[in-house]
Amino acid sequence: LGGVRLCLWARGACCGPRLAVPGRLVLLRAYCAGPPPPSNVPTPDAKSAAEAAKKRVLAVFWAEAAFMVARAMVREAHAALEALQVRLKEIRDRLDRVSREEAHYLELATLEHKLLQEERRLRAAYEDAEGSERERFALFSAAVRESHEKERTRAERTKNWSIMGSVLGALIGVLGSTYINRVRLQELRSLLLEAQKGPENLQEALRVQAGNHRSQQEELRAIIHSLRLTLSDSGAVGEDGQRAASK
C-alpha cells in the first residue's frame, strides 16, 4: 500500500559533464506510484454535473477557435485579392500607355490574362472563406446558446432544489415544534395532577425533611460534646503535668 518506486539509472558517460562522473551510475529520475493524497471524493451527481460543464466549456472553446481560424482565412484571402487587384490595375494602366504595335504589349496582355485567372481563383477562395466563416459563426453561436440554456436550466434546477429543501426544513421545524409543545403540555398536565394531589405528598416530604434535620442536629450535638470532653481531658492532663513539675 505504500506505493511502488521506479528508478531509472544510467552511466555517467551519457550524462552532462557537470551533472555526472564518467563510469558511474547516476540516478536520472525516480517515479513513485502510490495512493493519491486524501481528497474530498465528489458524489456521482456532482461529478456528472462537473463533467457536463467541462464538456460545454470545451465545445464553446473549440467552436470559438474554429471561428477565429475561419475569420483569419477570410482576412488573408481578402488581403491577397486586394493586392492582386492593385497589381492588375497597374498592368492595365501600363497597357493603356503602350501601343499595340510594340512587342512589350503582348507580354503585358499575357500577364494581365494570368492575373485575371488568379483573381478569379482568389475571389472563389475568398467566397469560400466567407461561407466557412458564416458556418463557423453559426456553430459558435449555437454552442454559446446551448451552454447558456444548460447553465440556466442547471441554475433553475438548483433553485428549485433549494426551495424544496427550505420548505422541507420548515416542515420539519414545524413538526418538531409541535412535538415539543405536545411533550411540554403533557408535562404540565402531569404537574397539575401532582399539584392537585399535593397536600398529602407535601406533608410527607416535610415530615421526612424534619426527621433528617433532627437527626443531623443530634449528630452535631454529639460531635460537639465529644470535642468538649476531649478538650477538658487535655486541659486536666496539662494541669497535672504543671503541678508535678512545680513539686
| Helix axes of 103-196 and 198-246: crossing angle, nearest 10 degrees | 80
Q: Please give the tally of structural domains in the chain.
A: 2
Q: What integer pLDDT is reported at residue 29 of this predicted model?
A: 42
> Pick from 151, 186, 210: which residue ends a domain?
151
Is residue 180 domain-shared with residue 142, that is, in the same domain?
A: no
Report whether pLDDT(230) > 70.
yes
Same domain, 145 and 166: no
What domain range includes position 209?
Answer: 162-222
Asked whether residue 99 is assigned to any structural domain, the reply reads yes
Residue 241 to residue 243: CA distance in whole angstroms: 5
Q: What is the pLDDT of residue 18?
A: 38
Q: Are residues 122 and 209 in the same domain?
A: no
Residues 182 and 127 in one domain: no
Higher pLDDT, 184 or 234: 184
Span 94-130, pLDDT tens digits: 888 887 777 778 888 888 889 899 989 999 998 998 8
**Cα 103–109–112 angle (5° rounding)?**
145
Task: Give yes or no: residues 114 and 180 share one domain.
Answer: no
Does residue 37 belong to any structural domain of this protein? no
Residue 213 lies in a domain: yes
Between these two residues, 140 and 243, which has the higher pLDDT value?
140
Q: What's the pLDDT at 86?
A: 92
Co-location of 69 and 117 in the same domain: yes
Of the residues 130, 151, 172, the one at which a domain ends: 151
- Would the pTM of this model clear 0.75, i.e. be above it? no
Asked if the structure places residue 229 within a domain, the reply is no
Q: What angle, rounded to 10 degrees, do the helices at 103-196 and 44-97 form?
A: 160
Cα torsion through 115, 116, 121, 124, rounded to 10: 140
Residue 52: per-residue pLDDT: 78
Please say which residue of 132, 151, 170 terminates a domain. Answer: 151
Task: Give Cα separations from 149 to 71, 154, 156, 191, 219 (angstroms).
Answer: 26, 9, 10, 62, 88
Q: What is the pLDDT of residues 160-205, one digit of tens each?
A: 888 888 888 888 888 888 888 888 788 777 766 766 665 556 566 5
Q: Across all residues in the chain, what is the average pLDDT?
A: 73
